[in-house]
Amino acid sequence: MASGNAEGVLRIPLQREGGRLLVRARLDEGQSIRMLVDTGASISALKPEVVRGMRRGPEIVIRTAGGVVHAPVVTLNSLELDELRVESLTVAVMELADLDEADGILGMDVLGQLDLSLDQDAAALVIQTTP
């Protein structure tokens, strides 16, 4: 499903919404969501309605631009971004009221593990998949 694959490179399509970049993702039970790509976020987060019914863990403290927030966490079996699969991912559960167009935030807990660049002309995350 990845577009423009070359050997050792995965190109994950992004969608532009205003000045924001969104990526389509799939949760472990197959639920399709849209996430804001946010290199300023240290942890990924999902809105409460996205994780309804999932067992929540302890609260963590997150420093945001708006102040300190206490948020419970859930652990996903997997999060898929096109052909990229991240397993056993712990995400914060937050309201994200100013984020109407997305179901969550994809933060540096995922992005920081990847050798990636942003191709703004092609609106794609470019991930090097070989060492």
Mean pLDDT by 10 residues, the chain (131 residues): 60 90 90 94 95 92 88 95 92 90 94 89 86 64
CATH number for the 9-119 domain, one of 2.40.70.10, 3.90.25.10, 3.40.50.2000, 3.30.1360.120? 2.40.70.10
Q: Which amino acid is at 26?
A: R
Closest CA to 89 of 51, 53, 121, 32: 51
pLDDT at 62: 92
CA distance 8 to 95: 37
pTM of the predicted model as reported, rounded to 2 decimal places: 0.88
pLDDT at 3: 41
47 Cβ contact partners less than 8 Å away, ≥ 6 residues apart:
93, 94, 95, 96, 99, 103, 104
CA distance 90 to 88: 7
pLDDT at 88: 94
Domain ranges across the chain: 9-119
